[in-house]
Structure 1
């Protein structure tokens, strides 16, 4: 059964020594498409090279991670705007608000988030959201910006069932990764009560490796471990989880249209 890794930083330097082998392991495990979130201007080159090396399999997003929003954020936004005007991307991401590490640039994070949402809506592509210690703040902006073009994925969802329902009501999918396998994480209890119609799978590689690989470098092959855990907690066959989450990913990213656009772009 096919699986899709909807969120993986496969251009990370942590893969420089064995990137080809890592990709081979993923494909041998049934993962045949990979969605690459951008961080900032420093990650673009490596991300686009990976997309070029794996046409029709790796798909680049464009955006600024909230932890990269500093005093010069408007310069970074200008880079994002330029790239969005030059070629197609699968999504604007990863974008959002992070109040875990530093609250210094909270206002700038809000401004950058709103601006990137507007660009995504204008281009009619989804957004992929990073939210840490900021669920209320992110949802406030999403509800403010909501219209029939706003859609996407709430990456690395780890919240409550009530938060999940609020996100789903906004027509967003929940990105479920390695945290669902953590013994005391609690996410498994939440996922148990959420329909597969609202879930996509991810690794966030090289971060947040699932059990029993926790503490090691994460990689896309391990999305299979996430799928197995979701199947276990929902008491459904693995094949059903694979089929439905893959269909969800293909739907949100419009994979059929996207593959042809990216192949043409890289010729």
Structure 2
């Protein structure tokens, strides 16, 4: 059984003391594919070093995270464009709009999101979307950019059933992680209405650990708890869910 974690920050400082053990623990659980979303330029070298250490397991994205869109965002976007020509990347992400923490840079976030969508299209890459308290703003830009050349993953999907259908209409898979195991997560109430072909698994480690680890540091091995929850929701064996969601990840990332 091969499981794919489509969104894990394995290069995070949270894993500096035991990164190799974390990765080994996940691989031992069947998690053989790790897709690493970018945050900003300060993490590029860490990500490249990790990919070099685990070339058969680690796949990189590049991009500017919306919460890291500040005054220097144009410099950051130039960095994204520059590294695309130097290294192998499988997506532009995570990108999007986040209005949870502050709205000061909304205009800049919108500009950065649009620019990176267009960059992804230019390089024929998928996008991985971060959306927090910003569904309307994200959908507005996806509507502008929709087409056969737009595809990707709506990371950490926490919206309604109608928002899920709308995301899917833009060629987005839904990234399902620990939130599906939360009592107040809500998405577990309608997920079985969504065809599995639209679902990929993720952890967002070190964040959003699933039950029974909620509130603790998340790690990629905990994706098994997400898989177990989806097996209940869809009434299908874990092996089938792992196979389908891994196939879906290959469709998105091309690897």
TM-score normalized with structure 2 length: 0.98
Cα distance in structure 2, aligned partners of 1:87 and 1:216: 33
What displacement does 1:190 show? Answer: 2.2
Cα distance in structure 2, aligned partners of 1:57 and 1:10: 12
Match of 1:265? none
Bigger mean CA offset, 77-86 vs 94-103:
77-86
Q: How does 1:37-48 map to 2 (within 5 A)?
A: 37-48=37-48
Q: How does 1:8-157 map to 2 (within 5 A)?
A: 8-157=8-157
Cα distance in structure 2, aligned partners of 1:31 and 1:97: 29
Match of 2:7? 7
What displacement does 1:56 show? Answer: 2.2
What displacement does 1:93 show? Answer: 0.5
Match of 2:184? 184
Kept after mapping to 1: 8 A contact 2:2/2:32: yes
How many equivalent pairs are there?
Answer: 255
Cα distance in structure 2, aligned partners of 1:249 and 1:218: 21
Cα distance in structure 2, aligned partners of 1:88 and 1:19: 22
Match of 2:210? 210
Kept after mapping to 1: 8 A contact 2:147/2:170: no
Cα distance in structure 2, aligned partners of 1:193 and 1:148: 25
Cα distance in structure 1, aligned partners of 2:205 and 2:174: 17
What displacement does 1:133 show? Answer: 0.3
SS in 2 for 1:144: helix
TM-score normalized with structure 1 length: 0.94
What displacement does 1:65 show? Answer: 0.1
Cα distance in structure 1, aligned partners of 2:13 and 2:226: 24
What displacement does 1:250 show? Answer: 1.1
CA-atom RMSD in angstroms = 0.8
SS in 2 for 1:97: strand
Cα distance in structure 2, aligned partners of 1:24 and 1:89: 23
Specify every segment of 5 or more residues in structure 1 that has no aligned partner in the other structure, as ranges: 256-267
Cα distance in structure 2, aligned partners of 1:149 and 1:86: 23
Cα distance in structure 2, aligned partners of 1:145 and 1:220: 32
Specify every segment of 5 or more residues in structure 2 that has no aligned partner in the other structure, as ranges: none
Cα distance in structure 2, aligned partners of 1:200 and 1:62: 19
Cα distance in structure 1, aligned partners of 2:40 and 2:90: 16
What displacement does 1:84 show? Answer: 1.2
